[in-house]
Amino acid sequence: MAERVWSEKDLVRRSNRRLAVLRHAEEVSGNVAATCRYYGISRTVLYR
């Protein structure tokens, strides 16, 4: 199976989303569970 090649634009978009999730957990909610509910992700995904 071929490995996916990410464009620079895709990498920047993914990085910005990850930063937004982490910033939300730290600055907005201060609560990992609330952040996960807000973004619709599991805590496992957040910690990964």
Q: What is the pTM of this model?
A: 0.77
Using CB atoms within 10 Å of the CB of residue 10, give its burial: 0 to 12 exposed, 13 to 18 middle, 19+ buried: exposed
Q: Rounded to an integer, what distance in angstroms lies between the CA atom of residue 21 and that of residue 46?
A: 8
Q: Rounded to an integer, what distance in angstroms lies between the CA atom of residue 34 and that of residue 24?
A: 9
- Would you place residue 4 in the very low, low, confident or very high pLDDT band (cuts 50, 70, 90)? confident
The residue behind tokens 């895709």 is 10
Tokens in use for 44? 């496992």
- pLDDT, tens only, 11-38: 999 999 999 999 999 999 889 999 999 9
CA max distance for the chain: 41
